[in-house]
Structure 1
């Protein structure tokens, strides 16, 4: 069960944006990732709970930050409800639905989930529609992404060889592109994300029974 700590920073000037303390593991339903997010002052300011099914689709998602909440999952495509903790009777909650493939947001969990969903081979690429929940108010936005698996590199470690996947990920609307490095179900580095601490090794794959090899 990998666990550790990610830090976030502004991709333009490097300004620190907080941290995420996480744990994740394969399970009976597929894969689950849970995390507590912290602000730049070190105080807890939210949480992430994502469960994938055996096909690496987002079975259930719950996000909290700054009083805002998202509850989402698979239902006639992807569906979600966005609400605020001050809205005690739910009268201002907003529902959404889209024929998208995956959710995305600041958490590294979404990068792992999308990579496992696509299951690309080296040199392969794919385009998919995602629903992004953007900080600080978890506002939903639908966009198209392009993913390409450029290489899988082998790095020797004390516990054996570590396979690191290198992806190019592009926002197809803006043309913005970044490089994402994954080892199993852990993000080693990505735009605005650094792995600061890893207490246990990554799981080799989210769903061994459906690994494309």
Structure 2
């Protein structure tokens, strides 16, 4: 069960935003990721609890940021309930999309797991609903993912394969690189892996 923490920063000017402390695990029914986010002062700012099924579909999502909360799942596309800061009102949403995304590194692993791009096969398109702190307002976006390389690295146990993806925002044309090893993000815009106490899990 990988456990560690990421540092989070503004991808444009590299202003530090805080840290995300996580643990995740694969199992016969899929993958689960749980984390807590902290600001630069070390204060708790939110949490992520994401469970995927064996095909990479989000069967349970619970996000907290400030006083906002979102619960969602893949149902008739993706469906969610977003609760306001007072806790007295809730709004429901449903979009014909494939999965969720947001600021957490968990969503990069989840999207790669859902799409499973093949090396040399070109880009795969995906529609996602994004929830971004601090207010977790939903936004639908389209991306394409292409697997550019898979590089094995020797370790004390089994070889560790690092996958490099090119992710394109289909609205703006902006491209960026995402580097994953199993269920851990090695590097991505605004994300750096700072510690990891056990090797990443591999998906079957």
Post-superposition CA distance 1:2-32 (Å, at most 9, x none): 1100011111111001110000001242110
Q: Give 4+ residue runs of structure 1 displaced > 6 Å after superposition.
A: none
Post-superposition CA distance 1:48-85 (Å, at most 9, x none): 00000111100010000111000000221100011124
User: Which range moves more in the overlay, 23-32 or 34-43?
Assistant: 23-32
**Separation in structure 2 between the aligned mates of residue 109 and residue 145 of structure 1, nearest angstrom:** 16
Partner of 1:116, secondary structure, is: helix
User: Which range moves more in the overlay, 148-157 or 188-197?
Assistant: 148-157
Corresponding residue of 2:118: 121
The correspondence for 1:166, drawn from 155, 164, 167, is: 164
Post-superposition CA distance 1:126-161 (Å, at most 9, x none): 001000001210010001001000000111222332
Corresponding residue of 2:42: 42
Partner of 1:115, secondary structure, is: helix
Q: Are 1:106 and 2:103 counterparts?
A: yes
Residue 33 of structure 2 contacts residue 49 of structure 2 at CA under 8 Å; is this kept in 1?
yes
Question: Considering only aligned residues, what root-mean-square deviation do their CA atoms show, in Å?
Answer: 1.0
The TM-score with structure 2 as length reference comes to: 0.96
**Separation in structure 2 between the aligned mates of residue 32 and residue 191 of structure 1, nearest angstrom:** 23
Corresponding residue of 1:57: 57
**Separation in structure 2 between the aligned mates of residue 12 and residue 73 of structure 1, nearest angstrom:** 31
- Structure 2's unaligned 5+ residue stretches are none
**Separation in structure 2 between the aligned mates of residue 27 and residue 156 of structure 1, nearest angstrom:** 24
Residue 142 of structure 2 contacts residue 170 of structure 2 at CA under 8 Å; is this kept in 1?
yes
Q: Post-superposition shift, 1:162?
A: 1.0
**Separation in structure 2 between the aligned mates of residue 29 and residue 140 of structure 1, nearest angstrom:** 27
The TM-score with structure 1 as length reference comes to: 0.92
- Structure 1's unaligned 5+ residue stretches are 209-213
Partner of 2:112, secondary structure, is: helix
Once the two structures are superposed, the pairs formed by residues 64-213 of structure 1 within 5 Å of their partners are 64-87=64-87, 89=88, 92-124=89-121, 125-205=123-203, 208=204
